[in-house]
Amino acid sequence: MAETMWAVVVEDEAPLKLADVEKPVCGPGDVLVEIVTAGLNRADLVQRRGMYPPPPGASQIMGLECSGTIVALGSDVSGWSVGDRVCGLMAGGGYAEFAVVDQGALFKIPDWMSFNEAGALPEVMMTVWANIFDRCQFKSGESLLIHGGTSGIGTMAIQMARHAGAEKIMITAGTDEKCAYATGLGADIAINYREQDFEEVVRQAGGSDVILDMVGGDYVQKNISAAKIGGRIVNIAYMQGPQVQLNLMPLMLKRLVLTGTTLRARPNAEKQRIRDAILADFWRAILSGEIKPVIDTVYAFDRAEEAQAHMAKGGHIGKILLSRQHS
């Protein structure tokens, strides 16, 4: 008889709840992590609506990142031991007692770092590096515009760009409170998009070399207008919709790159490449405290419904977590 564990499950239209499910088994290159903390991501909300299914072979349980302790090793795993404190990225399975994580998507965390802090790191750091630094080739001395500047990804992007020598960091957010927080974190210009036209503000500031967008909709044309000559624009989500009508002439005249990526379904080797780049370029800044995860709220796993409702409202700053260490 298969071993079981608890996990947060979805049943039709009912609220999320804990239930017994089959415990996962390590593949050759996987470790089994006993989870303490799982990070929430908007992808979880989209998956719950049936619009972002896990890639083939991945867990159907929600949750793209976790922190905890290794309790078992796959046959091909090297460099990791049972008992190691880790955080990592996976294609699914984080809202649970245990999850399998590929060894190439793991970070070893120091004893002084809390599991909650660690659980807020993998998805945001890997997303920021993959899009801003890899896809858009952001360089020291360039300017950056971040939409959703106080989201988990936005707060990490500000810090990583500042560490990398950004000349100017601009963000958009929906309240003056969020704008003030982003400025305190290192943004040079914070734009309340409910009161200001970000396109005009950014153009008056000289434009942006790189733009990270998760909004889509009419932002796509505005981004093209706000970009500098030779600028790079990357979409990681389309919260206002992916279908837009565009004037592409500025794309040609300004020699822009308009691109988009996802992280979840990438091969393990690619995720390891991203992990390795973070270890090389940014992990010392994490260990020194120069770069810190921003945590909004921590919920117990049996309050996952409440946690997702909080995320859906959009008023949070930083990461929302599920954790056994919620108090």
Encode pLDDT of 200-220 as tens digits. Answer: 999 999 999 999 999 999 999
Q: CB of 179 within 8 A of CB of 191?
A: yes
Calpha distance 246→159 (Å, rounded): 32
CATH of 4-121+293-323, one of 3.90.110.10, 3.90.1150.10, 3.90.180.10, 3.30.2130.10: 3.90.180.10
Encode pLDDT of 38-85 as tens digits. Answer: 999 999 999 999 889 999 999 999 999 999 999 999 999 999 999 999
And the tokens for 185? 């974190």
- Rounded average pLDDT over 307-316: 96
The 10 Å Cβ neighbour count of residue 24 is 21
3-state secondary structure of 240: coil
Calpha distance 286→109 (Å, rounded): 10
Q: Is 12 left (phi over 0), alpha (psi -120 to 50) or beta?
A: left
pLDDT > 70? residue 109:
yes
pLDDT band at residue 226 using 50, 70 and 90 as cut-offs: very high
The conformation of residue 292, written as its DSSP 8-state character, comes to: -
pLDDT of residue 1: 45
Domain ranges of the chain: 4-121+293-323, 127-260
Per-residue burial over 190-206, b = 16 or more CB atoms within 10 Å of its CB, e = otherwise: bbbbeeeebbebbbebe
Calpha distance 265→248 (Å, rounded): 29
The 10 Å Cβ neighbour count of residue 6 is 16
The conformation of residue 211, written as its DSSP 8-state character, comes to: E
Encode pLDDT of 8-17 as tens digits. Answer: 999 888 899 9
pLDDT of residue 83: 98
pLDDT of residue 118: 98
pLDDT of residue 84: 98
Encode pLDDT of 164-185 as tens digits. Answer: 999 999 999 999 999 999 999 9
**Which of 147, 108, 183, 159 lies closest to 293, judged by CA?**
159
Average pLDDT in the chain: 96
Give the rounded percent of residues in the chain with a pLDDT score beyond 70.
99
- Type of residue numbered 46: V
pLDDT of residue 300: 98
- Type of residue numbered 269: A
3-state secondary structure of 40: coil
pLDDT of residue 194: 96
Give ∠ CA 150-219-187 in degrees, rounded to 5. Answer: 30
How far from 129 is each of 10, 118, 161, 250, CA to CA, in Å? 31, 17, 10, 27
Calpha distance 55→57 (Å, rounded): 6
pLDDT band at residue 230 using 50, 70 and 90 as cut-offs: very high
- Give the rounded distance of the alpha carbon of 73 from its chain centre: 26
**Which of 185, 37, 48, 41 lies closest to 116, judged by CA?**
37
The model scores a pTM over 0.85? yes
pLDDT of residue 184: 98
Encode pLDDT of 81-107 as tens digits. Answer: 999 999 999 999 999 999 999 999 999
pLDDT of residue 43: 95
pLDDT of residue 326: 76
pLDDT of residue 12: 83
**Which of 44, 94, 41 lies closest to 67, judged by CA?**
94
CB hemisphere CA count around 172 (13 angstroms): 23
Handedness of CA 268, 5, 110, 283 (dihedral sign): positive
- Ranges 117-121, 158-162, 287-291, 322-326: which has the least confidence: 322-326
Q: Is the domain 127-260 a CATH 3.40.50.720 member?
A: yes
**Which of 99, 97, 21, 92 lies closest to 62, judged by CA?**
92
- Type of residue numbered 4: T
3-state helix, strand, coil in the chain (%, to 5): 30, 30, 40
Give the rounded percent of residues in the chain with a pLDDT score beyond 90.
96
pLDDT > 70? residue 327:
no
Q: Are strands 65-73 and 30-39 parallel, antiparallel or unpaired?
A: antiparallel
pLDDT of residue 13: 83
Encode pLDDT of 119-169 as tens digits. Answer: 999 999 999 999 999 999 999 999 999 999 999 999 999 999 999 999 999
